Each structure stands twice: as structure tokens, then as C-alpha cells.
């Protein structure tokens, strides 16, 4: 199942914020969208998911497995989200419901998508909690989001995103709000799960060091335009656009062995 975005334009209240971008996420591949804040990364992801904010309009083409998503009815898009395309956002606190146990939130998506009963759903929630390496899964499912650390909450968000075994995971700066050591743990968890499931990954970041760890190809955005698209190894060693060169300078402090392979 592949994602093909062609000449995507997003306008908000008449202002063009994504200006005709094209890229592809072939089955089983890992693509990074990278750019400075405000370059249009999140709106691109939201357009794919059919979750654009009020006043925003998408034009062009977004094909998922051959199906055009632009103009698809909300009900169809809602089914795709979770079932076939999973989402993880930057801030796990806002993605989770504060007054529901994490187990119920993990189970909810499974119940909606697979129609299983309450008891079975709790068992599945425990399994999913273990899968994202949450400590003591059988009891953590009965806790509330505020009782968890930031890293644990992001693990819950990942468990929710992956509970229905989507074929594509879209992760929008999933580690930006976390401490550096926790970031590394979450990135390696995401990669392990993506590999285990053979999922595709569309990963959004402003940090080339992070991109280098998770993606094989990168698309560089500036003001809603693609300024460079290349294998990550090329972006790291021979970036052609000033934007990529700047991102590389910013990342150099945290980059380790840029020539040392995909992670």
C-alpha cells in the first residue's frame, strides 16, 4: 500500500501554505518530511489524514493504495485513520483523554475497528501496552494519563496508533516535546515496531539528526515548497539547498557518525 501525493496545495483563508508538493511513500519505506517551523509539514500530514483545520482547503491529489483521498467522505477517511493509517502527534498529553484510563483508550480503537467485547478489549490493551514496552502492563492500563511520565504517555499514543495494525504510520514530531534521552528510546521503539510490522513510515521533524535515524529518504520543505528530495545519506553529505545546509549545521552538534548507516 503506497501513498502518492501529487501537486498538493493547501490554502487557509485564501493564503497558500502548501504550494504544490509531490512525494511518495512506497510500501514498506521510510520517508522523512523535514523543514523549519512553519514550512507546511504538519498541514501536509493533516491533509493526508483528512484532518485539516477549519478554513483550510486541499487541492491536488493524495492517493492511498490507488484511492483518491481528497474529497473522500469523512466517514471513509475516519475508517482509514487507525485502520490503515496510524497517527502519532507531538504532544501526547493533548492526544490523550485525561479522564479515561490508558487501557480504555488503547482498547477503544480496537473495539471500534474490530468490534470485540469489553473483556477481550482489556486483554488486548494489556498486550498492546507490553508491545510498546510500558512497565507493568497489567496495572498501567488502569491508570490515567496524568499518572504517567511524558515518555510513557507517548508510548500509550503509539500503542493507540498501532493497535489496529495500520500499514502506514504518520508521526509528526513525536519526540520533540520529550527529554533527549527519552527521545532516543521512543525513536528506537518506533523503528522497531515499524520494522516488525513491515509498515511504511512518514516521519515529520525539523531535526536532521532525528531524520537520519528513522528515514531512508528525505523531502525538505520551505514555505510550502519542496526545495530538495534525496536519500538521507545525500542530505547529510552533499545537501544542495541552503535550507538543507542550514538544517545540517543545526544538526551537526547532535549528529553522530552521519556516514554510519541509516540509524
Ligand X SMILES: Nc1ncnc2c1ncn2[C@@H]1O[C@H](COP(=O)(O)OP(=O)(O)O)[C@@H](O)[C@H]1O
Closer Cβ to Mg ion, 110 or 226, answer by number? 226
Give the residue at shortest CB distance from Mg ion: 42
35 binds, among Mg ion, ligand X, none (CB under 5 to 8 A by kind): ligand X
The listed partner (ligand X, Mg ion, none) that binds 145, CB under 5 to 8 Å by sort, is: none
Q: Which of residues 21-80 bind Mg ion (CB under 5 A)?
A: 42
Q: Are strands 30-35 and 217-222 parallel, antiparallel or unpaired?
A: parallel
Residue found by looking up cell 482509514 in the block: 80
Locate cell 510500501: which residue?
27
Q: Which is nearer to ligand X, 50 or 137 (CB)?
A: 50
Choose from ligand X, Mg ion, none: what does 105 bind? Cβ within 5-8 Å by kind: none
CB of 24 to ligand X, least distance (A): 19
Give whichever of 32 and 103 is closer to ligand X, judged by the CB atom. 32
CB neighbours of 47 closer than 8 A, spacing ≥ 6? 8, 10, 18, 56, 58, 62, 70
Q: Which of 166, 125, 170, 163 is nearest to 143 (CA)?
A: 125
Which CB, 17 or 163, lies closer to ligand X? 17
State the cell numbers at 232: 538521507
Question: Residue 39 binds what, of Mg ion, ligand X, none (CB under 5 to 8 Å, by partner type)?
Answer: ligand X
Q: How far is the CB of 5 from ligand X (least distance, A)?
A: 14
Residue 230, Cβ density class (10 Å: 0-12 exposed, 13-18 middle, ≥19 buried): middle
By C-beta, is 41 or 155 nearer to ligand X? 41
CB of 211 to ligand X, least distance (A): 13
Looking from the CA of 217 toward its CB, the CA atoms found within 13 Å total 15
CB 62 within 8 A of CB 9: no
Residues that bind ligand X (CB under 6 A): 12, 17, 35, 37-43, 53
Q: Which does 153 bind (CB under 5 to 8 A by kind): Mg ion, ligand X, none?
A: none
Nearer to ligand X, 28 or 38 (CB): 38
Q: Which listed option, Mg ion, ligand X, none, makes contact with residue 40 (CB within 5 to 8 Å by class)?
A: ligand X
What residues contact 217, with CB distance under 8 A and at least 6 apart?
29, 30, 31, 32, 229, 230, 231, 232
Beta bridge mates, 85: 81, 168
CB of 44 to ligand X, least distance (A): 7
What residues make contact with Mg ion under the rule CB under 5 A?
42
Amino acid at each position: 500500500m503506497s501513498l502518492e501525493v501529487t501537486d498538493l496545495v493547501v490554502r487557509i483563508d485564501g493564503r497558500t501554505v502548501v504550494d504544490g508538493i509531490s512525494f511518495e511513500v512506497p510500501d514498506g519505506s521510510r520517508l522523512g518530511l523535514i523543514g523549519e517551523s512553519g514550512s507546511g509539514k504538519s498541514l501536509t500530514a493533516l491533509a493526508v489524514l483528512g484532518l485539516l483545520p477549519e478554513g483550510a482547503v486541499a487541492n491536488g491529489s493524495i492517493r492511498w493504495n490507488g484511492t483518491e483521498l481528497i474529497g473522500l467522505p469523512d466517514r471513509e477517511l475516519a475508517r482509514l485513520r487507525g485502520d490503515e493509517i496510524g497517527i502519532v502527534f507531538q504532544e501526547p498529553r493533548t492526544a490523550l483523554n485525561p479522564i479515561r484510563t490508558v487501557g480504555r483508550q488503547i482498547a477503544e480503537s480496537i473495539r471500534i475497528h474490530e468490534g470485540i467485547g469489553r473483556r477481550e478489549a482489556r486483554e488486548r490493551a494489556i498486550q498492546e501496552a507490553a508491545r510498546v514496552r510500558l512497565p507493568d502492563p497489567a496495572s498501567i492500563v488502569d491508570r490515567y494519563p496524568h499518572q504517567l511520565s511524558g515518555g510513557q504517555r507517548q508510548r500509550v499514543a503509539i500503542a493507540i496508533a498501532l493497535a489496529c495494525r495500520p500499514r502506514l504510520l504518520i508521526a509528526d514530531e513525536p519526540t520533540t516535546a520529550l527529554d533527549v534521552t527519552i527521545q532516543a528510546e521512543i525513536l528506537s521503539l518506533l523503528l522497531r515496531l515499524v520494522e516488525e510490522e513491515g509498515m511504511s513510515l512518514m516521519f515529520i521533524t525539523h531535526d536532521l539528526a532525528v531524520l537520519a535515524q528513522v528515514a531512508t529518504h528525505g523531502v525538505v520543505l520551505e514555505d510550502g515548497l519542496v526545495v530538495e528530495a534525496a536519500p538521507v545519506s545525500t542530505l547529510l553529505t552533499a545537501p544542495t539547498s541552503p535550507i538543507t545546509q542550514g538544517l545540517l549545521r543545526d544538526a551537526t552538534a547532535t549528529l553522530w557518525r552521519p556516514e554510519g548507516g541509516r540509524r
